Chain A
Amino acid sequence: MALFNFHKNTFKNGIHPPESKDETRGLPIRQFPFPPVIILPMAQHIGTPSEIVVREGQEVLRGALLAKAVGYLSVPMHAPVSGIIRKIGNVPTISGKMSPGIYLETFPFSTQEVLEGKPIDPDNASAEEILQGIQDAGIVGLGGAAFPTHVKLKVPEGKKCETLIINGIECEPYLTTDHRVMLEQESDIFMGIKYLLKATGAEKAIIGIEANKQDAADHLGRHIPENLPVSIKVLPVKYPQGAEKMLVTSLLQKEVPSQGFPIEVGVVVVNIATTAEIGRLLPHGRGIQERVITIAGPGVKKKGNYRIPVGTPLRFVLEHVGVDEDIKEVYMGGPMMGVAVSNLDISIVKGTSGILVFTGKDVGASDKIYPCIKCGACLDACPILLNPSKLGVLAKFEAYDEMARDFHLMDCFECGSCTYVCPSHIPLVQYFRLAKRVVRKRQAEKKEEVNV
């Protein structure tokens, strides 16, 4: 009800899961050791997988180009360590499918110096040059979506980017990487914003930070460079505020149109870790070799925030930090939207923001599912204002087309708030995930028929 919406600087609905960040928020980012072998899938971003440009047996230096972008919606891949290409073939990925990739054996005694490339001058480079530089650095959204950043930054013809929003919300429980990056990499962040303002043509940037990271907001506030039009806004804590649409609404009280992107209301949103990475890499013309990851959860011994080479096998990571005997589930990402891992031979990818380990007693037995009692808790949770209760009933009858046509199924971005609150333990978002897949498939088939 708009009538009772007293908080201007927030979005409607949402939930308040336990934050569970206390154990790692105070731990500075530490460099993770190099694994003996790096396993690097080529499909670790949204878009066309990168094309391998090295051969088996070739020696590469850290930061060297291993694979190039294929077309516009794609990014290149760089060597996370100095070593030798041991094998080119299929590597396991989190989805369970095998994907073309590279096994890179680390030189044990290398100094692991990073190659320098062609620097991009933040003062004199054109928007096009910066966008190209971002693509060449292999940068994708580090918040988890892994969408190529240069594509997101490209303002479409006829549109104008007025505001650049830097997303420092980090609303997923347990994760503290953005928090640490904000505390430790302020100059990288502001350098990144400088590039991003130029690339998008935005006049000003706003950094959105949730109130549980007040120290980070204060720290950044003290270090804003002169002549950089950046402001910092602290928002009340609420999940899923880190979702682009929710953040735009919280900061600007505007709604992004259904199925649309923030640019339609003159906004581009970039994750803070991505921003820091741009500011860190572009002045040296380097590519991504590593990223900051929170390793936490009740089953982890050495919890913390680590800078880990991309391609580090999960098994190596868990062996290094130590986990409980009773390890039951491992998630990549946060507990609300992260993906459960079935195979520890997969590796860290660019989009991995967290590794969470839950033991048997944390996961617990699956609760009894009751019929929907129409309590409406899901309607009060859904940030997109859908009717998950009704969608859940339709999903049971596999009425997927009706869900999409009449009940805005495709606007669901799978934040999981409905399932989180449901007292009847109905797996709502899980139904919707499936339904969306089916609808997308059917739409694609329809298109094909028309084309034939």
Chain B
Amino acid sequence: MFKKTLDISSSPHIYKGRSTDDIMKNVVWALLPVVGFSVYSFGWNALLVIATATLACVMTEHVLCKLSKKETTVQDYSALITGLLLGLTLPPIFPLWMAFVGGVIGIALGKYVFGGLGYNVFNPALVGRAVLQAAFPVAITTWHPAFLADRFTTVSGSVFTWPFMQPQFDAISGATPLSAFKFDGITTSTAELAFGQISGSAGETCAVLIALGGLYLIARNMMSWRIPVAVLVSAFLLSGLLYLINSQVYPSPFFMLFSGGLMLGAVFMATDMVSSPITPMGLWVYGGIIGILTIVIRIWSGLPEGVMYSILLANAISPHIDTVIRNRVYGTQRKVKAI
């Protein structure tokens, strides 16, 4: 008896048994209905754009790992999430080569140069999109109406623009509710917004499905509920206040909440764990900054939408939020640490 040697290990000897790729996998599950609705409402165009962005992200991650002679990290699903998110934030008739460039830049400059998963300062999908917005301002603001009859029979010509060529857009294009409001003063009903009967980025139009995906992740304890709540509540409060002051000039807070990329940003972008703060109080501050900045940009800037820049800015200050805001350690008084 007992001929073999025993292993030794340092306690604890039992684990919860949930791993990082489990969390990432579940984010993918939560995104799939949003992708599905995007394809349902915008047809093959959206599917091609999302698939291209995803392929670009996963390939870039794999190639960069191989180039730096490391084990590939694509199986942790994080590049897949970046790709899906990038695709969902692009207009459904976006040229595929541009989407591909966005994916490459998002992963390479947004994530890999910082050291890969866990070290990125900014949300990689939004880095990719920000570059696209700066480089291709026309293509990225040319929208397409949802639920066209021919969406499953034809593909918009702009999608297949040759690389390095400017796209030619078809005559039909649909203004998003935010640009319609900004430039023409037209508001859209909340019901249409919530259930995605509108034009917009491929994945931002159905607020209800996005929220359900978020609720799934929150219920499985794989997402901080504080961030989306903080973003949405702060955006609602600021826009509500403005609406109370002058309802002729400012749109209703419900319009603000359900239009544009706020829901997608609040639920799936701002909640990127790596680029957000870690303490509960820090999360409230971070979410609050995003919500308020979004409304400020939407109302007073030249841009119709501000979710992307708000999140990127909040990403930038998130390490500083963690430096300043710390948990009060058990048995000590709360100390404010000098910056």
Contact = CB atoms under 8 A, between A and B. Distances in A.
A373 interface: yes
B326 A387 contact: yes
Nearest to B283: A376
A204 interface: no
Interface stretch (B18-26, B101-109, B234-242, B261-269): B18-26
Contacts, number: 158
A409 to B, nearest CB: 10
B280 interface: yes
Contact of B279 (A333, A337, A383, A387): A387
A256 interface: yes
Interface in B6-27: 6-16, 18-23
A52 interface: no
A162 interface: no
A114 interface: no
Contacts of B19: 367-368, 370, 423-425
Nearest to A297: B13
A338 B11 contact: yes
A318 B276 contact: no
Interface string A300-336: 0000000000000001001100000001111101011
A258 B329 contact: yes
Nearest to A11: B330
Given A258-B330, A330-B6, A338-B11, A421 B16 contact: yes
B20 A416 contact: no
A425 B15 contact: yes
Contact of A374 (B9, B16, B118): B118
A258 B330 CA distance: 7
Interface string A332-352: 010111111111100000000
A419 interface: yes
Contacts of B180: none
Given A258-B331, A329-B8, A386-B329, A371 B116 contact: yes
Contacts of B279: 376, 379, 387
A155 B35 CA distance: 66
A420 B14 CA distance: 7
Instruction: Report whether over half of chain A's contact residues are helix, strand or loop; otherwise say mixed.
Output: loop
B4 A327 contact: yes
A372 interface: yes
Contacts of A433: 10
Interface residues of A, number: 67
A258 B4 CA distance: 44
Given A245-B331, A330-B6, A411-B331, A319 B1 contact: yes
B192 interface: no
Contacts of A33: none
Contacts of B13: 329, 331, 335-336, 338, 340, 356, 358, 363
B278 A387 contact: yes
Contact of A419 (B12, B20, B117): B12
Contacts of B6: 327-330, 340-344
Interface string B267-291: 0000001101011110000000000
B266 to A, nearest CB: 18
16 contacts: A12-B330, A327-B6, A333-B11, A336-B11, A337-B12, A341-B6, A370-B76, A371-B118, A373-B117, A375-B273, A379-B279, A385-B330, A419-B12, A423-B22, A425-B15, A425-B19
Interface of B: 1-2, 4, 6-16, 18-23, 76, 115-119, 224, 273-274, 276, 278-281, 322, 326-332
The 5 closest A-B pairs by CB, nearest first: A371-B118, A416-B12, A258-B331, A340-B8, A370-B20
Given A385-B330, A416-B12, 17 more contacts: A255-B330, A258-B329, A327-B2, A329-B6, A329-B7, A340-B6, A340-B10, A341-B8, A358-B13, A367-B15, A371-B115, A373-B23, A375-B20, A376-B224, A387-B278, A423-B23, A430-B10
